[in-house]
Structure 1
């Protein structure tokens, strides 16, 4: 076929791949039956994977990650859940995302939690990217003169 010269050759089988085929093989079975067995094996693993991913989504915290990296990690987990057939509500992804943010974002988190309806994931990410930029570029105010109230009170009372 024209254009086939650009196709990537198939990946050589690995031990895991060979093990999967061996475990799905049934004597005198059709290719269709073997394929159904492989699909069943993947479906059995999906429940365990879904539990693991949902737990990771629920407990993920920002730590030292940037907003960009943190929200990408959240998005990747949500996409993986969708990819294995789990329904993921955007509202829940937003709630989990803001729950794991560091304390320096408490102002925006408070706003989001009390906003009706809850903003979309993309809006929340955008808000926090802007807030992170603002926090990084905010200049420290010059040191102010410390007022010693004891001295002022003593001078007024004398």
Structure 2
């Protein structure tokens, strides 16, 4: 099923099937880029605020996973460092532990360390 309004937007009287397909593809590719940029901005601007550690980690992990669909992968190190940068000064000790753990902990390991520290 197609949206009649979209068909009106992308078609003209002399459009071939290939013209319609190319225009349709470009239309959604442009939307894909806009969505990727929006997700990246959300990832980099999400603040912990009054959220729990679990909720904050979950929000950033969801954004990172959504970006994979747009070939804009955020690895565990970047994800963990983003979380750590948003923590209050009262978390300074656990931030030091996480950043100095060798090898650098995964997202799940870091999240668990933060949850244990928080409890």
Regarding TM over 0.5, the answer is: yes
Residue by residue, what CA displacement relative to the aligned partner does 1:88-136 show, whole Å, maximum 9, x if unpaired?
2221111111111233322111112222332111111121222222xxx
TM-score normalised per structure 2: 0.78
- Measure the CA separation in 2 of the matches of 1:123 and 1:20: 46
What's 2:55 paired with?
Answer: 69
Q: 1:29 aligns with which of 7, 16, 38?
A: 16
Greater Rg by CA: 1
For structure 2, the residue ranges without an aligned partner over 5 or more in a row are: none
Residue by residue, what CA displacement relative to the aligned partner does 1:3-33 show, whole Å, maximum 9, x if unpaired?
xxxxxxx8xx7xxx54434323354432x65
Query: Which structure shows the higher helix fraction?
Result: 2
Structure 1 runs of 4+ aligned residues shifted over 6 Å read none
CA RMSD of aligned residues (A): 2.5
- Measure the CA separation in 1 of the matches of 2:115 and 2:7: 46
**Cα gap change, 1:126 to 1:38, in 2 (>3 Å):** farther
Determine if contact 1:63/1:102 at 8 Å carries over to the other structure. no
Determine if contact 2:64/2:73 at 8 Å carries over to the other structure. no
